[in-house]
């Protein structure tokens, strides 16, 4: 088992992995080419979800990611930022069938999802929230005439070619372990646990087996 790990990249993924490895008793060095936490993760810590992730193992990985944050939030001042509110998606004539099928699939997978009609949607007080958002926006943009753009951020969106996470040892490069994923916010806490287990036991946990880098490198020894 490695006793000293160097984690390259202090975004949500690297920071979560480094924290977990350190908690497991390893010596950890966290490197970043820039300021920690200033890249993509800074601008996208928004939404934990698995509402449209497939196939089933990838959905389960993301669902577990949501649960991992729920467990972690109380230790991380969750009252200040953790809002497990879910989301509402509006169906149009062209998307209704897909949405119905998705809700049925998600329900079958044990993920809380259901169709709501217009009356129930109203009961969810969407109008009230829309009004509240408008009120806040008006308060926020007072004096907008004098406003100017002070910062513009373009984020790189790490998106593996097949849309699924890449997590595991890099074939042909001993000692190098890769973790690249979309939905890194949703997945970070859970992936950090799985990666720590892999690195401390030498055996990849079952949920990681579909995501090894080896799937892109047939032929590399």
Ligand X SMILES: Cc1cc2nc3c(=O)[nH]c(=O)nc-3n(C[C@H](O)[C@H](O)[C@H](O)COP(=O)(O)OP(=O)(O)OC[C@H]3O[C@@H](n4cnc5c(N)ncnc54)[C@H](O)[C@@H]3O)c2cc1C
33 binds ligand X (CB under 6 A): yes
For residues 41 and 212, which CB has a smaller minimum distance to ligand X in the complex? 41
What is the CB-side half-sphere exposure of residue 82 using CA atoms within 13 A? 15
Contact with ligand X (CB under 6 A) among 2, 27, 29, 47: 47
Q: Is 168 a residue that touches ligand X (CB under 6 A)?
A: no
The DSSP string of 34-52 is: SSTT-SHHHHHTT----TT
Tell me which of 17, 39, 103, 194 binds ligand X, using CB under 6 A.
Answer: 39
41 binds ligand X (CB under 6 A): yes
CB closer to ligand X out of 31 and 97: 31
What is the H or E stretch that residue 78 is in? none
Nearest approach in angstroms of CB 143 to ligand X is: 27
- Count residues contacting ligand X (CB under 6 A)? 26
Residue 169 pairs in a beta bridge with 177
Shortest reach from residue 221's CB to ligand X, in Å: 25
Residue 209 beta carbon to ligand X: minimum distance, rounded to whole angstroms: 21
Q: Cβ-count burial of 97 within 10 angstroms (0-12 exposed, 13-18 middle, 19+ buried)?
A: exposed
Residue 157 near ligand X by CB under 6 A = yes
177 contributes a contact to ligand X by CB under 6 A: no
Q: Which residue, 126 or 159, is less far from ligand X as judged by CB?
A: 159
DSSP assignment string, 127-189: HHHHHHHHHHHHHHTTTGGG--------------TTSS-EEEEPTT-TT-EEEE-SSHHHHHH
For the chain, the maximum distance between any two Cα atoms, rounded to a whole number of angstroms, is 62
Query: Does the footprint of ligand X cover residue 183 (CB under 6 A)?
Result: yes
Q: CB nearest ligand X: which residue?
A: 11
Question: Which residue ranges make up the site for ligand X (CB under 6 A)?
Answer: 8-14, 31-34, 39-41, 44, 46-47, 155, 157-158, 181-186
């Amino acid at each position: 088992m490695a006793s000293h790990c160097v984690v390259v990249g202090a975004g949500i993924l690297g920071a979560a992995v480094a924290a977990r490895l350190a908690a497991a008793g390893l010596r950890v060095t966290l490197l970043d080419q820039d300021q920690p936490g200033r890249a993509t993760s800074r601008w996208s810590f928004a939404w934990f979800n698995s509402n449209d992730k497939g196939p089933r193992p990838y959905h389960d990985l993301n669902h577990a990611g949501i649960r991992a944050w729920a467990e972690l939030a109380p230790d991380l001042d969750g009252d200040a930022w953790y809002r497990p509110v879910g989301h509402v998606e509006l169906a149009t004539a062209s998307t209704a069938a897909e949405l119905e099928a998705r809700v049925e699939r998600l329900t079958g997978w044990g993920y809380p999802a259901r169709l709501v009609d217009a009356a129930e949607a109203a009961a969810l007080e969407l109008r009230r929230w829309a009004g509240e958002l408008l009120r806040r926006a008006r308060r926020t943009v007072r004096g907008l005439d004098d406003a100017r753009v002070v910062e513009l951020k373009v984020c790189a969106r790490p998106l593996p070619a097949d849309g699924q996470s890449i997590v595991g040892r890099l074939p042909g490069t001993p000692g190098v372990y890769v973790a690249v994923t979309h939905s890194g916010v949703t997945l970070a806490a859970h992936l950090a646990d799985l990666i720590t287990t892999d690195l401390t036991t030498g055996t990849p946990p079952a949920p990681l087996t579909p995501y090894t880098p080896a799937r892109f490198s047939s032929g590399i020894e």
